[in-house]
Amino acid sequence: MDSFLIKGGVPLHGEVTISGAKNAVLPIMAATLLTPEPCVIRRVPNLSDVHFMAQILEWLGAKVKFEGDTVRVEARKIRGQGDYDLVRKMRGSICILGPLLGRLRKARVSLPGGCVIGARPINLHLKGVEALGAKIRIEAGYVEATARRLAGSAMFLGGRAGSTVLGTANVMMAAALAEGITVIESAACEPEVVDLANFLNAMGARVAGAGSPTVTITGVKQLHGAEHEVIPDRIEAATFAIAAGATNGEVTLKGARADQMHAVIDKLNEAGVRVERRGANLLVRRDGRLKPADVTTLPYAGFPTDVQAQMMALMTLTPGISIITERIFESRFMHVSELARLGADIEIEGPSAIVKGGKPLSGAPVMASDLRASAALVVAGLAAKGTTQVNRVYHIDRGYENIDGKLRQLGARIQRIEES
């Protein structure tokens, strides 16, 4: 397994282009299954998760062609079952359920895998498609959904940790080809849901209210091909912003959208990291000394759970006490023990991590447990004295396009050690 070797202590300087959003492109790729006509998706990041999704689409019968950061998909004839070995590797693969059900009125999809960050049940996905008229059976590791017809319905998709992004996406896609009107209450408001709605509408769907807690879908008889450009990845942008603050550097985030990052920008400003709009870009630099900040993860537009680990790495460098509370996933503190190997002083109390920051970090071998934990360890390694080796970086390749190359462009001393 590949690893990163990082020699820390170098401030990051320069410009970095933010790639397309992983969490947007996966359901958009799945949505191409809703039409037999060709679709073109632009600003597609080169990620292992994207290639997994392409393999899933090909297994289902679609033709997928990559041309740089553009993907062309033609799903003229498709089957209704996803391959177990492919689907189980990636949580986002569950989003093929909605389009298969919408177009074929049947779907057989493996229960998904992904990062080990706590229970992420799909009960809200199933509740949503059942409300449209699907019959659900779970057997031998598969979800089997069938429907003689799909009919619009009103439903509530709120859960214990708030709304469900992929559940909202699945229902939107299935409802696009259902009869009548579907109203989703407590819908996810994330920008990635809005991006999917924009793609569906470009295909001829009638989706209104995306980005609000109430989304209305008026079903149509068929959808056609469309072209679409994916939004920039707000989580990647936040990670590079935090890395700039952690190393006391100055970095321009090209293409980052401040309007999708309000909570992150607010907390970075509170922590002494200034984020300024410069046209279509963001400029990030320290504003004096780092300051402690308390963070609670919440559904959008709150502070993203996908930035919690990186923010914790920044707070380990900050004199004083910061409290980081995780309200989305119950097991998303697996990076704490690895940050401790670098010298961080962090105590876990229930859903909160108490960070006693300000002590210098020193390099050590660490192990990545999930995608965002990997990013946190890279941020910490960039700021630490000495050499840090981050092992199992296949996690980070799932969600960050060429992160080591982009960091080297900013002056970081980071190299990938390839192992067979």
Q: Tell me the C-alpha distance between 196 and 187, whole Å.
A: 13
Q: Please confirm whether the linkage preceding 301 is cis (ω < 30° from 0).
A: yes
The number of beta carbons lying within 10 Å of the beta carbon of residue 215 is 26
Q: Tell me the C-alpha distance between 337 and 18, whole Å.
A: 30
For 334, the 3-state DSSP assignment is coil
Q: Tell me the C-alpha distance between 195 and 388, whole Å.
A: 37
For the question of residue 115 being annotated catalytic, the response is: yes
Edge-first strand listing for the sheet containing 135-139: 106-110, 142-146, 135-139
Structure tokens belonging to residue 9: 């202590």
Catalytic residue among 39, 95, 115, 189: 115
Q: Tell me the C-alpha distance between 23 and 121, whole Å.
A: 18
Q: Tell me the C-alpha distance between 301 and 234, whole Å.
A: 12
Structure tokens belonging to residue 168: 């909202």
Q: Tell me the C-alpha distance between 381 and 290, whole Å.
A: 17
Among 292, 271, 297, 291, which residue's Cα sits nearest to residue 351? 297
Q: Tell me the C-alpha distance between 32 and 300, whole Å.
A: 26
Q: Cα separations (Å) of 330 from 252, 351, 411?
A: 34, 7, 36
Active-site residues, by number, are: 115
